[in-house]
Structure 1
């Protein structure tokens, strides 16, 4: 599950202290393939892989327009 916390200075510092983390950025689905749940499937595959690698923190950069896909 991805969580979008409201960052305070303290939570931001804790977030930066994590030594091992996953990173997801710039996921793009061509318009003709949108609404076919590819974004959800790709996210689930990546999260499963992170879990298998014992990665418990995921940093996600997403555009404002796509944020609803990850909430």
Structure 2
């Protein structure tokens, strides 16, 4: 699977909003790398308190997004 949309990701990963942190897999080189997208907006629930006046996506959620993309990558051959 070199590309995956939202429905394909939801079929493979049990997480749902607000913790489904991958919107698309945009490319993949089997056994080497994958790229994905998470559309982050100011309306995300975690943006209101992290940090007030200077919102950023919390680092732990960035790591979670990477792990979700890795799941898609690791099981892409199945």
TM-score by length of 1: 0.31
**If each structure's helix is expressed as a fraction of its own residues, which one has the higher value?**
1
* Higher relative contact order (Cα pairs below 8 Å, separated by 6+ residues): 1
TM-score by length of 2: 0.29
